Structure formats: structure tokens, C-alpha cells
Amino acid sequence: MSRLLSCVLKSPACNATRRGTVALEFALLAPAFFLLLLGIVEVSMMIGAQELMENAAYNASRLAKTGYVATGQTQAQTVSQVVTNELSSYGALIDPAQVTMTQASYGSFSSASAGGGTAGYGTEQQIVVYTLSYPWKLFTPIMSAILGTDGVVTLTSTIVVRNEPYG
């Protein structure tokens, strides 16, 4: 009882019995803390990349639905350049060469929900489904064990538009 009372009163005897507890507590809690911190950073970077892909899909489809083609390029090259420019803004975290973009055109929205379709940008007034996919490589091995397959999470963005009259 007297020892407890001396610790409460902050006597020097208390310090001798508590020496090293902070280091022990840190050693027990640090791995969980850093795992949580790395997980937050990893998922935040993935969400940023996903949002960037959504924006790239939106801008590419917005340009493609007008039928615009840059001078000296095909429509595919023009749209691909928009996607590359958008994704390059994330620096070295996204390699635009690994992005896969597909387009499928349909006669109506109801036929688009059924699947199938014709590959390509479609013609006037057709419905076109644009899909961008990117294999996001996870940076931390621990997150690789939790998310994705073999350390890769496939980020996908899909947007559906109706082509404008080109005339």
C-alpha cells in the first residue's frame, strides 16, 4: 500500500518501477499504427487514381460524342490523346500506356443494357459505352495481401453517352 501511495505521489521509487513501459507500449502499438497509416495512404492514392480515371472517361466521351477529329489524326487517336493527357497529370503513379479503353455502340439505351454491341465510337445518335481499365499496382506488400490479386487492383471507369448529331 505504501508503494502504491508513493507512485501516486510521484516519488522517485515509482520511476524505477515504471522505467521502460513507454518503449514497451510503443513496440506493441507501433506496427498496428503504421499498418493503418500505410493502408490509409494506399487507399487514398487508389481513390485519387479512380477519380482521375472517371474524369478522363468523361472528357474522352464528351469529345468523342461530338465526332470531333483533330487534324491529321483518327478519332481513336484524338480520344486516346485526351485520356493520356488526363492521366499524365497523376505523374508516374499511372502509366497511360497500360490503360485499356474500349467502346461499344448500341442503337438504344435498352439494347446497351442487354450487352453485345458493335465495337467502335458509333454513328450519330447512337449510344456508346466507354470503359477504361487500369491495373493499379499496390505499393505495400501488406496491402497486397489484403487487396487485389497478386498485388494488383483493376480500376475501372464506365460512362454511357448518346452521340450528338454530327451535321
Helix, strand, or coil here: 157?
Answer: strand
pLDDT in tens, 61-96: 999 998 889 899 999 999 999 999 999 988 888 999
Integer Cα distance of 132 and 100 in angstroms = 6
Integer Cα distance of 47 and 138 in angstroms = 12
Model's pTM, two decimal places? Answer: 0.78
As beta bridge partners, residue 119 has: 104
In the prediction, which pLDDT does 23 show?
85
Give mean pLDDT, residues 18-34. Answer: 86
- Number of domains forming the structure of the chain: 1
6 lies in some domain: no
42 lies in some domain: yes
91 lies in some domain: yes
- Over the Cα atoms of the chain, what is R_g? 27
5 lies in some domain: no
1 lies in some domain: no
Domain region containing 150: 13-162
Confidence of residue 140 (pLDDT cuts 50, 70, 90): confident
